[in-house]
Amino acid sequence: MANEPVLVAGSSTEKLKAIVGETWVTGKRVAALPKDGLTSLIQSVILNYQESKEPFYVLDLGVVTSLMDKWTRTLPTVRPFYAVKCNPQPAFLGTMAALGSGFDCASRAEIESVLALGVSPDRIIYANPCKPLSHIKYAASVGVNLTTFDSKDEVEKIQKWHPKCALLIRIKAPDDGGARCPLGPKYGALPDEVAPLLQAAQAAKMAVTGASFHVGSGSTNSRAYTAAIEAAKMVFDKAAQLGMPHMSVLNIGGGFMSGQQFEEAAPEVKAALQTFFSNDQQPGLSFIAEPGRFFAESAFTLATNIIGKRVRGKVREYWINDGIYGSMNCILYDHAVVKCEALACTSNCENPTCKASQTYTSTVFGPTCDALDTVFTDYQLPELEVDDWLVFPNMGAYTAAAGSNFNGFNTAAILTYLAYMNPTH
């Protein structure tokens, strides 16, 4: 199949099969992985598979496995439900499924894509507090029986169309000041709304089995988790006061980033769970989370081709074949700061990474005819030529997922090559 991603395997196909399952390996072309890392892997993809010079992603499954390892070692009591909206690339979802993750889906299509992997519906939480009727009916028909709510109207909808569904009350995190994308302005019950909402569910004979929150995506304030876990504890207490059955699920949402932020956030989460939930030793109490960015961001690298160049005085201007309406929409919507490295494999094949080359103030434009479609201004790059490449690391979170087909540049058509580099623990 021409459009099937080529699998660029690492150590062995057997190992890959063991990690991601047969489906993602069988029938794919497998090439040897160069020993010296990602840059030469990208070069070999360019040389061997990319005659058309379209942009492409490399997904390193080794990164995904080590992140899952890290999560399990650091927060062993908190089960991840990967947030599909962050990056729904099928092989990536397949890998997460094979690694035992649950899934946070927010729409019918997201539920369908997870069920298509053979994941059972009890590994899915429908974590959208405000759902279209038709999607609720669909969730009922396939047995996705856990969802979130933060309004009375939602309780009524769910009671009518999916009465067997268990509910988590989504509360507004008390503190999302440090987040790159706060979610509090849109979602989450305020403290004085909690009791009336619980009573509405009680009156509707709907089971509220726990509470959930989201401290905001790309959270930089680890204390936000502590405050939100404390607020969730108050919800558990309120439910008990109202004579409701004991709540059994605490969902701490997303907001995690791999790297230093996780090193700081995880101990806060652990300590807060210990402080506020250690007395709740009733059997069956479970902690879950909905990490998106944590697993997806660093696993994907994007390679783009330079399709145009103009020199204006000292400034070099380049056009590449992906941009703000494509993968780099993250600059607008996700407030991302992206970076790139030159891969001059056409103009400077002796030294494609341009080590020690002089750099120039450069502008990088995306391919559409809108001037807004500008990826960098005032960015330092070596002298490059048309047909060279720019390589963007850490492009897995909220990138292709929200790209468009504007001007006929179709983000969804960007291929993903799979690689497995040995995880470094």
On whether the CB atoms of residues 123 and 102 are closer than 8 A, the answer is: yes
Query: Is residue 86 close enough to count as binding ligand PLP by CB under 6 A?
Result: yes
Q: 148: Cβ–Cβ under 8 A, 6 or more apart, which residues?
A: 125, 126, 127, 128, 129, 167, 168, 169, 170, 212, 251
CA distance 248 to 280: 9
Residue type at position 403? G
Out of 83, 189, 227, 343, the only residue in the binding site for ligand PLP (CB under 6 A) is 83
Q: Which is nearer to ligand PLP, 255 or 403 (CB)?
A: 255
- State the distance between the two ends of the chain, measured CA to CA, in whole angstroms: 36
On whether the CB atoms of residues 102 and 82 are closer than 8 A, the answer is: yes
Out of 10, 62, 255, 323, the only residue in the binding site for ligand PLP (CB under 6 A) is 255
Which CB contacts under 8 angstroms, 24+ apart, belong to 21-24? Answer: 21/94, 21/97, 21/98, 23/94, 24/91, 24/94, 24/95, 24/418
CA distance 204 to 167: 12
Query: Is residue 174 close enough to count as binding ligand PLP by CB under 6 A?
Result: no
Query: Is residue 135 close enough to count as binding ligand PLP by CB under 6 A?
Result: no
Q: 243: Cβ–Cβ under 8 A, 6 or more apart, which residues?
A: none
CB 229 to ligand PLP: min, Å: 15
Q: Which is nearer to ligand PLP, 86 or 395 (CB)?
A: 86
The window from 95-103, 247-255, 276-284, 312-320 that contacts ligand PLP (CB under 6 A) reads 247-255
The window from 81-89, 233-241, 355-363, 377-385 that contacts ligand PLP (CB under 6 A) reads 81-89
Q: Which is nearer to ligand PLP, 28 or 85 (CB)?
A: 85
Query: Is residue 290 close enough to count as binding ligand PLP by CB under 6 A?
Result: yes
Q: Which is nearer to ligand PLP, 294 or 389 (CB)?
A: 294
Query: Is residue 298 close enough to count as binding ligand PLP by CB under 6 A?
Result: no
Out of 214, 233, 238, 316, the only residue in the binding site for ligand PLP (CB under 6 A) is 214
CA distance 171 to 178: 18
CA distance 251 to 80: 10
CB 256 to ligand PLP: min, Å: 6
Query: Is residue 127 close enough to count as binding ligand PLP by CB under 6 A?
Result: yes
CA proximity to 322, closest of 338, 345, 299: 338
Out of 256, 276, 300, 376, the only residue in the binding site for ligand PLP (CB under 6 A) is 256
CB 60 to ligand PLP: min, Å: 19
The residue of the chain with the least Cβ separation from ligand PLP equals 254
CA distance 325 to 154: 33
The answer to whether 349 is a known catalytic residue is no
CB 257 to ligand PLP: min, Å: 8
CA 124 to chain centre: 16
Interface residues with ligand PLP (CB under 6 A)?
A: 83, 85-86, 104, 127, 214, 217, 253-256, 290-294
Active site residues: 369
